[in-house]
Amino acid sequence: MRRRKVLLTVPHAGCFVVPSERHCDRNAENMAKAIEDEFQRRGIEVVIVKNHKMRTERNDANRVSGFQDTEFGRTVQKEIKSGAYDYLVDCHSYPFAINMPRDFYVLDFGPSQNINQSIVKFGGTMGLECAIFEASPANAILSFAIQSGLSCTLLEVSEFLELGALRRVASAVVHAFASPTRPGRFHVEFF
């Protein structure tokens, strides 16, 4: 059997400090690293593609404008087209907002619903406050992944989550990946 392989993208890793402005996802790289560790511990190969260019109104790596003809976008497209991957997690983070879950949420496009529902269920059993929302079709990375038949998740974690909690989120992702067809069960299986 072919080895399983996972692609992680961090489109908003580019950060420069202007206190009044927010250009980047300040916890997204930490989240990607925790997910990488958790998959690698189980012998699954992981590739991370980060975008260190600053996000602007006109150039957002998560939108067609910043994805179609940029170094980051070309790299992600090439990796997906290689056909080597079983799963993609697009990693982001968000600042505190009163109407958002405390710990994390996933954005779902219909085709990956089972795995995304599983992440939230496993997250809940691990004591994390989380939610699932419908994704915007404008997301260029996930649209490309879905057109290529790749299961995918857009993961948003709180910028207040520390390493222990990030590891629990990563564990929820890995458990969901291990049992993507059984979103309704709380039973946990390792592979």
User: Contact positions toward Zn ion, by CB under 5 A?
Assistant: 12, 25, 92
Q: Minimal distance in Å, beta carbon 26 to Zn ion?
A: 10
Give whichever of 153 and 179 is closer to Zn ion, judged by the CB atom: 153
Q: Which helix (H) or strand (E) holds 76?
A: helix 71-81
Q: Minimal distance in Å, beta carbon 92 to Zn ion?
A: 3
* Separation of alpha carbons 181 and 165, rounded Å: 25
* The one-letter amino acid at 72: F
* Separation of alpha carbons 40 and 19, rounded Å: 36
| CA angle (40, 172, 102) in 5-degree steps | 125
Residue-wise DSSP of 128-169: --EEEEEPPTT-HHHHHHHHTT-EEEEEEEETT--HHHHHHH
Give whichever of 50 and 92 is closer to Zn ion, judged by the CB atom: 92
Q: Minimal distance in Å, beta carbon 11 to Zn ion?
A: 6
Give whichever of 24 and 165 is closer to Zn ion, judged by the CB atom: 24
Contact 10, 29 (CB under 8 A): yes
Give whichever of 12 and 121 is closer to Zn ion, judged by the CB atom: 12
State the residue number with the nearest CB to Zn ion: 92
Q: Minimal distance in Å, beta carbon 69 to Zn ion?
A: 20
